[in-house]
Amino acid sequence: MNISRNVLIALATFAIVAIALYSYEDVEDSAAANSTLNRGLSTDPESLDPHKMRSVQAGEVLRDIGEGLAGYTATGELIPAAADGWTISDDGLTYTFNIRSDARWSNADAVTASHFVFSLRRLVDPATAAFNAHLIADIENASAISSGEMEPSALAVEAKDDQTLIIRLSRPTPYFLALLTYPSTFPVNPDSLAEHGDSFTRPGNLLSNGAYKLDSWQPGSMLRLSRNEEYWNNAATAIDAVNYHVLTQPMTELNRYRAGELHITAIVPPESFKRIREDRPDELHVASYLGVYYYGYNLSKPMFGDSLQLRQALSMAIDRDVLVEKITGRGEAPAYSWVPAGVDNYEPRRFNYADLNQDERNAGARRLYREAGYSAANPAQFELRYNTSDTQQRIALAVQSMWREVLGAEVTLVNEEFQVLLSNMREAEVTQVFRSSWIGDYNDAHTFLSILQGGNPANMPRYASDEYDELMLAAAEQTDPKLRRVYLEEAERVLLADHPVIPLYFYVSKHLVSLQVSGWGDNVLDYHYSQHLSLATD
Amino acid sequence: MLRYTVLRVLGAIPTLLLVIVLAFLMVHAAPGGPFDDERVLPPEIEANIAKKYHLDEPLHRQFLRYLGGVVQGDLGPSYSYRDHTVSELIGGALPLSLHLGALAMLLSLIVGVTAGTAAALRKNTVLDRTVMALAMTGISIPVFVVAPVLVLVLAVYLQWLPAGWSGNAGGARYLLPVVSLALPQIAYIARLTRASMIDVLASDFIRTARAQGLGTIAIVRYHALKPAMLPVLSYMGPAVAAILTGSVVVEEIFGIPGLGQLFVRGALNRDYTLVLGIVIFYATLIILLNLLVDILYAVIDPRVRQR
């Protein structure tokens, strides 16, 4: 009885499987290897709609298939893109762009100023629910539109004619041009959107105004792009096709690179880094990156909120050189400031203890720890939360032991799934010290400093300083870039003196780039447009 | 007969409903939401997003809305693949998962039964011990160890086979994933076959067959194999389950865009609709299989229909 029942289950399964075998067709074919660039992508784009995208990976693909008013060279200099030039009014509030007369969609229609007007309005329209609507919050009326107080048509963006686009800002924003390189500000084609609705981003429907167009997308596997013949700068595009291989496991990606199946990897796994640096030094590209890895204090807890001494003691007792040399080991820079080096028009301030050696720092930390009222008999006891991952764990263990050895603090490690940690950080109920990071959205100190302003939703430590907020406000109202810089740097000095966060290190971008690829440029934003690259044929 | 079938189909509906309710509650109970990120959004933008995806409604409203869609065959839009619907994603990933699973099943049966039979015929010889030692190793080493080692040796060092899925054409890319998926099953099936084959070979009717002068191959083929296969066949059910779960790991390692990979990504991203969609799909599949078996039973055995 029992056996025959299982036999029947097996038969039924086989019947279904047989049908599946019959119905599954191989959709992939081998493309010509020479003109096809194979790139690793660590996860699928969540959307190729510029207004629904959010992730680094979606941005990577969108920079190949779309184009904003401005762009970057391979080495990260800002250049005109869909606009061939612009003028900025003396008060820094009005930008006038001249759209290229030869800018074309992949169906040969002209890209016009009205397309940008349409797209920027769509970005802030509450009905779109765009994740990055706040990127252009400095355009006049943008915030009021996002919060439903005004109609999208009230956005201060105007097409004077097909070629002339005028954008008015509510306050001077020196990094505004850099924002226009971000895919959320790329144009979408209004006719295509009207025709296809939500499915306008599908292969076959998607109209692109960039160097490549989307041929196919198999979620979890690959996005195939091919040359957009209509692109205004098509003559300068060397590579005919780009395959983005979705590879969520860094080791899998590395294996595929070593097997010669990828030209560029999205990342380099930490456990293989040392060997790669020895074996393939010419292929390894490590560049500083606009990102800071930090531990934050939950300042709404009196233990941390009321004790500057404890906050500073904990910060000083961490030997960052050990972290970046022994644990991360990929060329990361130890962090003694909040804003990473390499940001345009900015010189990061540093912790006042940054020039001491670690022994001197430890001595200072012990003194502050005692002043805060803690001792061997009465040690500081708290939890350090981080998200489950090998690297986070090793860093947390190292910091825990540094705090124990230098100060005698008793720290409990709590690891949580990323989404759980995020939700705990936001609620700020159970968190005491937590791990987080911040990746800059644009090349300006503002992207780092602004998140610690009072009321900023990303202000996880709940840092609240009137002095800091006033300096940030003064910087925001400043049209003179030199003065603005002075205010921002002063704000960072105030911030560092208050120790709401412990910056541990600054990120680096890490890629393996095949020697066949030329035109690669390391840059602080880690943007690598396929159109700047070429492949040596062998 | 028709009445019986209709009753059985109706009986399956509450089961499915229960699965949906439980799964819905569980995914929503997990901390965090589908759009949480380190880059926290301004409240007005968060509100717009919650409104657009109906996450601002009370849970029972969300459930009824979802159920309404499911009844009409609409599993909703995916949150982590915002350009796709859940049905599209499952439809795209399913054939590949089934394809891999079927090949792995086929391979494990052929190799497992052959190796097990050979071991049984040469009981307590070097061959037997080697096969059993290999089988034990196959059972003990998990897929997530075997698969990367295979890739390292065969794809990276020797470069005989492709290391991954996307961008490689042809049958070669199936080889490593299918072998990784099949290895533990081969091992189980070889051990099962050996044990039952030894039993069968020791029974009286085989002795009679031998006495009549039949050769070993003929005995195995015409007399011993069928009865020896019964335990193996009844292992097929668990084997299907093992291959389904194993595929989650194998698909991750080789970057194969199947259901397993989709499920993992959905769960980690709190993509409620995607996770629910896959759970509903699997539940329906299992319920259907059982239903099919019950109906076949009724066809074979009229007494079942009377009950």
Domain chopping of chain B, boundaries: 91-257
Whether A12 sits inside 8 A of B98 (CB atoms) is no
DSSP A34: T
Q: Find chain A residues with C-beta within 8 A of B89's C-beta.
A: 219
Q: Strand locations in A11-115, DSSP E?
A: 36-41, 70-72, 78-80, 83-88, 94-99
| Residue of chain B whose Cα is closest to the Cα of A16 | B98
The domain made up of B91-257 is a member of CATH 1.10.3720.10: yes
Q: For residue A196, give the H/E element and its range.
A: helix A190-196
Q: Say if B299 is an interface residue toward chain A (CB within 8 Å).
A: no
Q: Find chain A residues with C-beta within 8 A of B270's C-beta.
A: 419
Burial of B157 (C-beta count, 10 Å sphere; 0-12/13-18/19+): exposed
Strand-pair category, A241-246 with A36-41: parallel
Only one residue has tokens 């990276």, namely B156
A 111-130: CB under 8 A from B: 126-130
Per-residue exposure over B227-250, b if at least 16 CB sit within 10 Å of its own CB, e if not: ebbbbbbbbbbebbebbbebbbbb
The CA distances from residue A104 to A18, A100, A189, A200, in Å, are 48, 9, 11, 17
Measured in residues, chain A has a length of 538
pLDDT at position A26, please?
47
Sequence-ordered list of residues with C-beta below 8 angstroms from that of A49, at least 6 positions apart, any chain: A188, A200, A201, B82, B83
Whether B81 sits inside 8 A of A131 (CB atoms) is no
Q: Say if B289 is an interface residue toward chain A (CB within 8 Å).
A: yes
Q: Which of A8, A16, A436 to mutate to test the interface with B (most CBs of B within 10 A)?
A: A8
Alpha helices in B202-271 (DSSP H): 204-211, 216-218, 225-254, 259-268
Whether A458 sits inside 8 A of B38 (CB atoms) is yes
Q: Which of A13, A48, A221 sits opposite B255 (nearest CB)?
A: A221
For chain A, the straight-line distance linking the first and the last C-alpha, in angstroms and rounded, comes to 65
| Residue of chain A whose Cα is closest to the Cα of B155 | A259
Angle at A283 between CA A281 and CA A288, to 5 degrees: 85
Q: Say if B148 is an interface residue toward chain A (CB within 8 Å).
A: yes
pLDDT at position A5, please?
64
Positions of chain B with pLDDT under 50:
none
Q: Which of B27, B28, B37, B38 to mutate to test the interface with A (most CBs of A within 10 A)?
A: B38
B 89-118: CB under 8 A from A: 89, 92-96, 98-99, 101-102, 105
Q: For residue A16, give the H/E element and its range.
A: helix A2-23
Q: What is the pLDDT along chain A (538 residues), one digit of tens a residue?
A: 445 666 666 676 666 666 655 555 444 444 444 589 999 999 999 999 999 998 999 999 999 999 999 999 999 999 999 999 999 999 889 999 999 999 999 999 999 999 999 999 999 999 999 999 989 999 999 999 999 999 999 999 999 999 999 999 998 888 999 999 999 999 999 999 999 998 899 999 999 999 999 999 988 889 999 999 999 999 999 999 999 999 888 888 998 899 888 999 999 988 889 899 999 999 999 999 999 999 999 999 999 999 999 999 999 999 999 999 999 888 899 999 999 988 888 999 999 999 999 999 999 999 999 999 999 999 999 999 999 888 899 999 999 999 999 999 999 999 998 888 998 998 899 999 999 999 888 889 999 999 999 988 889 999 999 999 999 999 988 888 899 999 999 999 999 999 999 999 999 999 999 999 999 999 988 999 999 999 987 5
Q: Which of A20, A47, A49 sits opposite B95 (nearest CB)?
A: A20
Q: Which of A198, A248, A423 sits opposite B252 (nearest CB)?
A: A248
Radius of gyration of chain A (CA): 26
Q: Which of A12, A30, A256 sits opposite B164 (nearest CB)?
A: A256
Task: Establish, for the pair of chains A and B, how many residue pairs have beta carbons separated by less than 8 Å.
Answer: 238
Q: Say if A275 is an interface residue toward chain B (CB within 8 Å).
A: no
Q: Find chain B residues with C-beta within 8 A of A23's C-beta.
A: 95
A 225-244: CB under 8 A from B: 243
The CA distances from residue A218 to A183, A520, B258, in Å, are 21, 27, 10
Q: Find chain B residues with C-beta within 8 A of A438's C-beta.
A: 38
CA–CA separation, A46 vs B89, rounded Å?
13
CA–CA separation, A343 vs B138, rounded Å?
54
Q: Find chain A residues with C-beta within 8 A of B46's C-beta.
A: 457
DSSP A49: S
Strand-pair category, A94-99 with A164-168: antiparallel
Per-residue 3-state assignment (H helix, E strand, C coil) for A491-511: HHHHHHHHCCEEEEEEEEEEE
CA–CA separation, B1 vs A373, rounded Å?
82
Measured in angstroms, the CA of B103 and the nearest CA of chain A are apart by 9
DSSP A379: -
pLDDT at position A152, please?
95
Q: For residue A159, give the H/E element and its range.
A: strand A157-161
Q: Say if B160 is an interface residue toward chain A (CB within 8 Å).
A: no
Whether B162 sits inside 8 A of A259 (CB atoms) is yes
pLDDT at position A332, please?
92
Only one residue has tokens 């097929």, namely B236
Q: Say if B66 is an interface residue toward chain A (CB within 8 Å).
A: no
Give A65-76 as a DSSP string. H---SEEE-TT-
Measured in angstroms, the CA of B38 and the nearest CA of chain A are apart by 7
Q: Which of A23, A137, A436 sits opposite B95 (nearest CB)?
A: A23
Whether A12 sits inside 8 A of B289 (CB atoms) is yes
| Residue of chain A whose Cα is closest to the Cα of B231 | A3
Whether B169 sits inside 8 A of A30 (CB atoms) is yes
**Phi-psi category of residue B117: left, alpha or beta, with phi > 0 → left and psi -120 to 50 → alpha:** alpha
Contact (CB, 8 A) for A423 and A395: no
Q: Find chain B residues with C-beta within 8 A of A137's C-beta.
A: 42
Q: Say if B48 is an interface residue toward chain A (CB within 8 Å).
A: yes
Q: Find chain A residues with C-beta within 8 A of B96's C-beta.
A: 24
Q: Say if B204 is an interface residue toward chain A (CB within 8 Å).
A: no
Give phi and psi for A145, each to the nearest 5: -70, -45
Whether A5 sits inside 8 A of B297 (CB atoms) is yes
Measured in angstroms, the CA of A7 and the nearest CA of chain B are apart by 6
Whether A3 sits inside 8 A of B234 (CB atoms) is yes
